[in-house]
Amino acid sequence: MRGARGWRRLAVHLLLILAGLSMVMPFLWMVSTSLRSTLEITREPHRFLPEVLIGARDAAAGGAGGLPGVFANYIEAWQRAPFGRYFFNTIVIALACLAGVIVTSALAAYAFARLRFPGREALFLLFLSMMMVPEPVYLVPSFILIARLGWLDTYAALIVPWTVNVFSIFLLRQHFKTIPQDLFDAATIDGASRFAVLWRIMMPLSKAVLVTISLFTIIGTWNSFLWPLVMTHSPEMRPLQIGLAAFSQEEGAEYGLMMAATTLSVLPLLVLYFFAQRQIIASLASSGLKE
């Protein structure tokens, strides 16, 4: 009896490990390729361990040894395309969108949850209905609008339209509604203004929701593709994703370089992911964000 259960458990783990390998191997293969020279890749494309790690490169290829040798592809990729600029753009855009989303969501959610004004429910429904329209549907008119505003190829085009996220408003509103009325009454009697109630009481009580919102906003902005593809054309304004896509069109055949650039592009989010994986999984699962 116990033996049968043990075998079953083993089979389950084997299947799970197999699936896990199929998830991890592409990433490991990416890192491995990124550490190999073009010569090495064409000579032996399927070797897993890079020569530079097992100490065979210096004799064979005469490449530079030491740390610069290991990261040769990274250094070269960084020099061939303005990856520094791409990173800078993405970080600026992500942080600006995050700040915008937090401010607009907090204010709107507060009004929708706690303040009275005519047309409140209708307005909230209008917001929610916007959530159901997928991006490709309004892409063409948005492009014309952004062009008319003279915003093509500027940060404004990549930031301003994304400083509101209806789902964040929805999440915060739901949370604000759960905060007991007594807290407000007490604060109001103490003479706190409405804004002070929001800022001093509601926001500190909503840290978990704010973390959820921040995570899916940052990840969503970091990975967004279609919008910046359409709205930018000069290399200086490209966010990282578009820069990487352009790099792959230009240097696609140099796999070592490509994989080095790709590793760089996924590293920040993966690091963030390993530190906050529980929150990130919960955040993305709740948002339905899934390209």
Quick one: 39 or 64, whose CB is closer to other proteins? Answer: 39
List the interface residues with other proteins, window 265-284 (CB under 8 A). Answer: 265-266, 269-270, 273-274, 277-278, 280-281, 284
42 binds other proteins (CB under 8 A): yes
DSSP code of residue 64:
-
Residue from 81, 96, 111, 237 binding other proteins (CB under 8 A): 111
List the interface residues with other proteins, window 49-88 (CB under 8 A). Answer: none
Residue from 27, 49, 177, 183 binding other proteins (CB under 8 A): 27
Residue 234, H or E segment: none
Q: Site mask, other proteins, residues 222-261, x = CB under 8 A? A: xx-xx--xx----------x--xx--x---x--x--xx--
Measured from the Cβ of residue 245, the count of other Cβ atoms closer than 10 Å reads 14
- Cα 137 from chain centre: 22
DSSP code of residue 55:
T
Least distance to other proteins, CB of residue 190, Å: 19
Least distance to other proteins, CB of residue 180, Å: 20
Burial of 145-172, coded b for 16+ CB within 10 Å and e otherwise, reads: ebeeeebbbeeebbbbbbbbbbbbbbbb
Helix, strand or coil for residue 82?
coil
Q: Is 139 exposed, middle or buried (0-12, 13-18, 19+ CB in 10 A)?
A: middle
Quick one: 104 or 154, whose CB is closer to other proteins? Answer: 104
Helix, strand or coil for residue 180?
coil
Quick one: 58 or 127, whose CB is closer to other proteins? Answer: 127
List the interface residues with other proteins, window 130-189 (CB under 8 A). Answer: 130, 132-145, 147-148, 160-161, 163-164, 166, 169
